Amino acid sequence: MALPLPTPNADSRPYWDAAQQGRLVVQHCAACGTVQAVPRGCCGNCQSPALEWRDSALRGTVASFSVVHRGPTAAFRNSTPYVLALIDVAGGVRLMLNIIGPGPDEVQIGEEVEITFEPRGEAGFQMPQARRITA
Ligand SMILES: [Zn+2]
């Protein structure tokens, strides 16, 4: 069973379109300067509709994480263990991403990661993920 794919909506489509090009974008509010990670039709701080998409850094640090050994569905159970993490992306947003790559039991809070894109599904949908930077 394949892992599920996101279903872009009018608010999130620019985010997913950018991901297909290997870019991470976030919304900036032109009225108050808030940067928001979850795509919305207006600013979560001042409710202004004056939002613009800007490219984000592709680096961040691990704020928190959990190693999942028992996935919520059959598709995820085939992928265990995997790391689900909150990543503080350089530039001011916190995203929930999987940390991919070797050493799921070695992830540490404060560890630096890079944002990368992992093809998923037959069409190769590009999913933003975090990857450990190992020396
Ligand atoms: Zn605002």
Render pLDDT for 7-65 as a digit per residue (tens, 0 to 9): 999 999 999 999 999 999 999 999 999 999 999 999 999 999 999 999 999 999 999 99
- Which domain range does residue 115 map to? 57-135
Length of the chain, in residues: 135
The number of folded domains in the chain is: 2
With respect to residue 52, please indicate whether it lies within any of the assigned structural domains.
yes
Ligand 1 centre from 90 Cα, in Å?
20
pLDDT of residue 36: 95
Query: Which tokens hold the place of 134?
Result: 């190992």
Ligand 1 centre from 125 Cα, in Å?
31
Ligand 1 centre from 128 Cα, in Å?
25
Q: Tell me, yes or no, whether 96 and 134 share the same domain.
A: yes
Render pLDDT for 104-129 as a digit per residue (tens, 0 to 9): 889 999 999 999 999 998 888 999 99
H-helix or E-strand containing 75?
A: helix 74-77
Q: Tell me, yes or no, whether 84 and 36 share the same domain.
A: no
Ligand 1 centre from 50 Cα, in Å?
8
pLDDT of residue 135: 58
With respect to residue 3, please indicate whether it lies within any of the assigned structural domains.
no
Q: Tell me, yes or no, whether 52 and 76 share the same domain.
A: no
Rounded mean pLDDT, 93-109: 91
